[in-house]
Amino acid sequence: MRNIKYLLSYIDLKMPLHKKKIDIILANKDIFFIQELESFLADYSRYLEANNLSIDYGLDAYIKMVKDMIKCQIKFMRTGNYPVSNLSNTIADVYNNKEAMLSYMIGLALSQYLWESHYKILQHFRTALIDNKENIKKYIEIGPGHGLFLRHAITNLDPGVDFVTVDISRTSLEISKSIIEHAVPDKEVRYINKDILSLENDQQYDFILMGEVLEHVEQPELLLRKIHDSMATNGKAFLSTCVNCPAIDHLYHFKSVDDIRSLFNDCGLEIESETVVPVENLPMEEIVKKKITINYSALVNRKKYD
Ligand SMILES: C[S@@+](CC[C@H](N)C(=O)[O-])C[C@H]1O[C@@H](n2cnc3c(N)ncnc32)[C@H](O)[C@@H]1O
């Protein structure tokens, strides 16, 4: 487990308290997870090197992201508000800032395995994908960011599936493209650099993936209605978002899991399965009272009476 050992010693050096948190997470994992993490880290190091980056760059990016999140969290605890409030600032400071976005997305990729809440959402997605595999011919991902979900979908669905992906950030699209070229070099994907809200509604998809984008827009109901209208009659969408989760690019503040559920319902989406994972291991009453972040994902379909 050479790669895991290196990661732990690197994080211990730069952020010892956070390393203790990871130790606790890993202590509760089985051997299958540990093997998966080791092989992810080995592959991700090769990917970073092939793109003139290094695993140390990736680990620094991860540490920076954790520190940024802690700063946002402290501000949120003091004021009750998210640190940013309008899209144009986020576009300039984050999405169009190549250096910042590259570091943010690479750090986020590592969190997919290192944070219990992110890993549980990844597992929910994998199950939803496999359960619906037979019906998927046209697939779209909105906001692929680091591209790990896109890679998982491409490697697990039939080779003939048509893939489209849309991201407001050119850097995110470049990262997604590079991870697909690393893992599945022959796969053709349509990469569209646009705000999803400005994409024409002229296509319908069997499966829509939108991970952690809903909280990035000012009016999530517009986005959910668009998703509803872009789903084929028997199509499915896998959506993830979060409650009380301040970050450098989060604009919309969901205050409870029920806020999310009722918005889905208002937009004609029926929940088939969901994952609700607080980021701290505390009783739910305490999570709610202390406004601790809750990660959320749902597999949804179009309500039948629409
Ligand atoms: C936090 S990342 C999520 C990455 C990945 N989907 C995941 O679940 O970990 C959010 C991504 O959504 C993109 N994004 C944010 N707002 C968007 C919009 N209005 N249209 C398209 N992409 C958007 C960002 O550029 C970024 O790549």
Domain 116-302 has CATH 3.40.50.150: yes
pLDDT one-digit tens code per residue, 4-20: 999 999 999 999 999 99
Q: Which two tokens stand for residue 71?
A: 């700063």
- Cα separation, 220 vs 260, in Å, equals 10
Pocket test for ligand 1, best of 119, 168, 249, 277 (most atoms within 8 A of CB): 168
Alpha carbon nearest to ligand 1 atom 18, residue: 195
Domain-wise residue ranges, the chain: 2-114, 116-302
CB 241 within 8 A of CB 124: no
| pLDDT tens-digit readout, 208-262 | 999 999 999 999 999 999 999 999 999 999 999 999 999 989 999 999 999 999 9
Residue 239 near ligand 1, beta carbon < 6 Å? no
pTM for the model = 0.96
Examine the pLDDT at 139 and tell me if it is beyond 90.
Answer: yes
Token digits for 76?
Answer: 């949120």
Cα angle, residue 209 at apex, residues 181 and 82 outer, rounded to 5°: 105
- CA–centroid distance, 240 to ligand 1, in Å, is 11
Q: Which one of 194, 216, 217, 226 would you pick to mutate in the ligand 1 pocket, going by the greatest count of ligand atoms within 8 A of its CB? A: 216
Measured by CA distance, the residue closest to atom 17 of ligand 1 is 168
- Residue 305 has a pLDDT of 67
Q: Looking at the predicted structure, is the pLDDT value of residue 306 above 70? A: no
Q: Which residues are registered as beta bridge partners of 207?
A: 139, 236
Amino acid at 233: T
Rounded to whole angstroms, the Cα distance separating 141 from 211 reads 8
Strands of 128-213, DSSP E: 138-142, 162-167, 189-193, 205-211
Question: How much is the pLDDT for 250?
Answer: 93
Q: Residue 286 has which token pair?
A: 């305490």
Q: How far apart are CA 113 and CA 116, in angstroms?
A: 7
CA distance 296 to 282: 16
Could you give phi then psi for residue 106, rounded to 5 degrees? -70, -40
Report the nearest atom of ligand 1 relative to the CA of 223.
Answer: 19
Instruction: Quote the tokens at residue 114.
Output: 């290192």
**DSSP state string for 260-277:** HHHHHHHTTEEEEEEEEE
| Ligand 1 pocket check for 142: Cβ under 6 Å | yes
